[in-house]
């Protein structure tokens, strides 16, 4: 049976994207990463994809908003599921409808805390520190029409201290992302082959 195809949408350095590519490339799960879609031509994720032999497509905001252009990319790479790995553009409603329960996102907080518009990357960690939180974490969820509002698939928490800076929180969150994200995606797409990890909470 031929593999089914994952598109990774990413905007930044691409550590999560690389982790996903390596995970699916080293296992027989019936899925593989077939393309990386990025909205920034200078993003580090493009170099990572190139080194790993995965095609990439640069789609600035205007191109990404062009339904025909984006649909052509999805069709060209026979995409069956989409994984967002630090992607900063809104996913169009037509794409959500095209891939029901097949668009997966990771968010760097314990949703519903610190989610919604403007809450991404360092902004989340700064808000967590400013609020004096004693834990944060990751949430892997399905994408729907509400920002960070889709069904939660998995959460993992990490303890914070009063001395933690936003950079410290970011480092702790990154460890959780690297440990859990690929397995959660695999457990969602290939549940008969991969078990959902146990939450460390």
Instruction: Please identify every residue annotated as catalytic.
Output: 107
User: Using CA atoms, how far apart are residues 178 and 165, in angstroms rounded to an integer?
Assistant: 20
Biggest CA–CA distance in the chain, Å, is 52
Is residue 101 left, alpha or beta, with left meaning phi > 0 and alpha meaning psi from -120 to 50? left
Residue whose C-alpha is closest to residue 44's, from 16, 18, 74, 14: 14
Sign, CA dihedral 188-192-193-198, equals positive
Q: Which of 198, 162, 186 lies closest to 104 in space, CA to CA? A: 186
């Amino acid at each position: 049976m031929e593999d089914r195809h994952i598109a990774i949408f990413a905007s930044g350095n691409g550590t999560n994207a690389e982790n996903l590519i390596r995970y699916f490339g080293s296992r027989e799960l019936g899925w593989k990463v077939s393309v990386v879609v990025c909205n920034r031509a200078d993003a580090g994720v493009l170099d990572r994809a190139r080194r790993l032999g995965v095609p990439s497509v640069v789609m600035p905001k205007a191109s990404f908003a062009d339904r025909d252009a984006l649909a052509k990319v999805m069709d060209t790479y026979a995409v069956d599921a989409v994984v967002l790995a630090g992607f900063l553009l809104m996913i169009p409603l037509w794409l959500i409808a095209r891939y029901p329960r097949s668009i997966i996102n990771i968010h760097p907080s314990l949703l519903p805390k610190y989610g919604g518009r403007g809450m991404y990357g360092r902004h989340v960690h700064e808000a967590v520190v400013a609020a004096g939180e004693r834990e944060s974490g990751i949430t892997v969820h399905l994408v729907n029409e509400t920002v960070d509002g889709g069904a939660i698939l998995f959460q993992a928490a990490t303890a914070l201290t009063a001395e933690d800076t936003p950079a410290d929180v970011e480092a702790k969150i990154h460890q959780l992302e690297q440990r859990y994200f690929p397995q959660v995606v695999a457990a969602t797409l290939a549940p008969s082959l991969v078990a959902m990890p146990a939450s460390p909470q």
